[in-house]
Structure 1
Amino acid sequence: MPYAKLVVERENGYLVATINNPPVNALSQAVLKELSLLLDECLNDEGVRAIVLTGSGEKLFSAGADINEFKDVREGKEPEISGQELFSKIENYPKPVIAALQGSSYGGGTELALACHLRILSASAQMALPEVRLGIIPGWGGTQRLPRLIGKTRALLAMLTGDPIGAQDALAWGLVNKVVPAGDVLAEAKALAARLAKGAPLAIREILRAVNQGLNTTIEEGLKIERAGSAVVFASEDAKEGSLAFFEKRPPNFKGR
Structure 2
Amino acid sequence: MELDISPQGTPRNPVLVVALDGWAGESPERIARVAEALAGSLRLSVGVLRGAVSPRLEPLLRALTLTLAEDGANSPMIVDHPDPEAAVRHLTDAVRRNPQASVALGRLLRQTAVPDTTAALGAEAAVYSMLLAGSEFRRWLTERGGPKPVNFPDRPLVRLDREADLLSVTLDYPERRNALSAPLREQLLEALRLAELDDSIDRVLLRGAGPVFCSGGDLDEFGTAVDVVAAYQVRLERGPWRVIDRLGERVSAQVHGACIGAGIELSAFAHRLVAAPDTYFRLPEIAMGLVPGAGGTVSVPRRIGRWRAAWMMLTGDPIDTGTALRWGLVDAIE
TM-score of Structure 1 vs Structure 2, range by shorter chain = 0.5 to 0.7
Partner of 2:210: helix, strand, or coil? coil
Counterpart in 1 of 2:264? 110
SS of the residue aligned with 2:273?
strand
Q: Unpaired runs of 5+ in structure 1?
A: 181-257
Query: Could you say what secondary structure the match of 1:78 adopts?
Result: helix
Question: 1:58-137 maps to which residues of 2 (within 5 A)?
Answer: 58=211, 60-73=212-225, 76=228, 78=230, 81-82=234-235, 85-93=239-247, 96-137=250-291
Structure 1 residues 8, 38: closer, same or farther in 2, change over 3 A? same
Alpha-carbon deviation of 1:139?
A: 1.4
Shift of 1:10: 0.9
- CA displacement at 1:95 relative to structure 2: 5.5
Paired residues, what number?
Answer: 178
In the alignment, does 2:315 pair up with 1:153? no
Letter in 1 for 2:156: A
Deviations 1:55-91 (A, max 9, x none): 1112x11011111221222554835852674312211
Aligned to 1:166: 320
Query: Which residue number corresponds to residue 26 of structure 1?
Result: 179
Give the 3-state SS of the residue equivalent to 1:9 in structure 2.
strand
1:45 aligns with 2:198: yes
Equivalence map 1:204-215=2 (5 Å): none
Aligned residue in 1 for 2:14: none
Q: Which position in structure 1 is the counterpart of 2:165?
A: 13
Q: Please provide the CA RMSD for this pair.
A: 2.3
- Match of 2:290, SS state, is coil
Go from structure 1 to structure 2 and tell me whether the alpha carbon gap of 1:141 and 1:46 turns closer, same or farther (over 3 Å shift). Answer: closer
**Alpha-carbon distance between aligned partners in 2 of 1:168 and 1:74, rounded to the nearest angstrom:** 41
Cα distance change of structure 1 residues 78 and 133 upon mapping to structure 2, 3 Å threshold: same
* TM-score after normalising by structure 2: 0.49
Deviation sequence 1:121-154 (CA, Å, 0-9, x none) = 0111111111112221111221232222112321
Opposite residue 181 of structure 2, the aligned amino acid is: S
2:307 is matched by which residue type in structure 1?
Answer: T
- Give the alignment's TM-score, normalised by structure 1: 0.63
